[in-house]
Each structure stands twice: as structure tokens, then as C-alpha cells.
Amino acid sequence: MWTALDDHTALVACDIRCLTFLDAAGLELLVDLVAHLDRRGIAFFADNWQRRPLRLLELIDHVTATWSHASDRSTPTDPLRRTLSGSLYASSRPTSPGRRPPVRPAGSCRPR
């Protein structure tokens, strides 16, 4: 997937409402992907975290904070918590009146 991003890609937005389980290997892949995107100047946003995967992020943050003596408060999972909707509404750039980010219709997460 990393090579599928061309030079014109400005951002990657993931609606991960169907992600109900995430283990350490999957989390490491996501963190590596976000770091790769960041090095290329591509923004990453993830929306609709489910309770169980979000719990893993919280546990990793807790362990990192417990063992880290760094003065900054950033955690390895911070980039995974950036949301597109939060970014759009917090942006200082003017947007068109009535313009909202695209929303995936609610429905089943099962493959068709």
C-alpha cells in the first residue's frame, strides 16, 4: 500500500469503524505507516475508533508514559488519534459555507 501513494497524495483518511480488533503487530504497522506518510509530507487522519482497538492505544500510551523520562507529552499513538473532522473544524482556513467532510453511509461493516 505504501507504494500506491503517488506524489500528488496530500492526505490519507481512514474510517476505521469496522476495525473491532487490533493487536500489537497491527498497531506497529499503523504507527510505521503514519511515520512513512509523515516523512513524505502526507497527513494521516483516523476516525471512528472502536472501543477495543482504542483501549490498546491507551495501554500503549500508559506504558510509554510510565517508562519514558521524556519531557514532552507526545505518545507513539498521537498521530493515530488525529481526526479529519477535528482538523477541518479546528482549521483557521476559511471553507465554503455549508461544506462538510464526506461521510460514509452507516451500514454493515461486513464485506459484500
- What is the Cα–Cα distance from 37 to 11, expressed in whole angstroms? 8
Higher pLDDT, 112 or 3: 3
pTM listed for this prediction: 0.68
Residue in the block written with cell 483557521: 92
Tell me which of 110 and 21 has the higher pLDDT. 21
Residue pLDDT, tens place only, 8-66: 889 899 999 999 999 999 999 999 999 999 999 999 999 999 999 999 999 988 888 77
Position 93 scores a pLDDT of: 47
Task: Tell me if residue 82 falls in helix, strand or coil.
Answer: coil
